[in-house]
Amino acid sequence: MKKNDWILIITILLIAAIFWLIHTKFLQDEGSYVTISVDGKVIHQYSLEDDIDVEIKGVNEGINRLVIKNGKAKMIDANCPDKLCVHQKAISKDKETIVCLPNKVVIEVHAKEEQEYDAVVK
Ligand SMILES: [Zn+2]
């Protein structure tokens, strides 16, 4: 092969690698709703299209305040000792989570509606 062929192959591989990186890093699936779990059980789900401001009762008198605004979910307040959940960034992509370990509260983003949660939300 000539030198130019190698340059062409390397260029194609580089472009493929860049596309793959962009796809995995930036084109993560947009979330469409979040589920709220306490102690491993899903207790609520909310659409990311709705603006909400709710208090979640966690374990051991735990209270977490979740806000959904502009398609992003964020824990804005909590009475847990570490406040790690409050410091986590707003989430909006599929499979992103905010976890409050002390209160056992987990907020998770999902890409599309799933029927299996309907029975749980009451
Ligand atoms: Zn917390």
Q: What is the pLDDT of residues 34-77, one digit of tens each?
A: 999 999 999 999 999 999 999 999 999 999 999 999 999 999 99
The domain in which residue 4 lies consists of 1-28
* 59 and 105 co-located in one domain: yes
pLDDT tens for each residue of 88-108: 999 999 999 999 999 999 999
Select the more confidently predicted residue: 120 or 59: 59
* 20 and 45 co-located in one domain: no
Mean predicted lDDT score pLDDT of the chain: 90
* 69 and 98 co-located in one domain: yes
- How many angstroms does the Cα of residue 100 sit away from the middle of ligand 1? 4
Q: Near ion ligand 1, which residues have CB within 5 Å?
A: 78, 80, 85, 100
Question: Whole-angstrom Cα distance, residue 94 to residue 111?
Answer: 5
* 41 and 18 co-located in one domain: no
Which pLDDT belongs to residue 27? 67
- How many angstroms does the Cα of residue 78 sit away from the middle of ligand 1? 6
pLDDT class of 24 with cuts at 50, 70, 90: confident
Write phi, then psi, for 101 (nearest 5 degrees).
-65, -50
Which pLDDT belongs to residue 122? 45
Is residue 122 in some structural domain? no
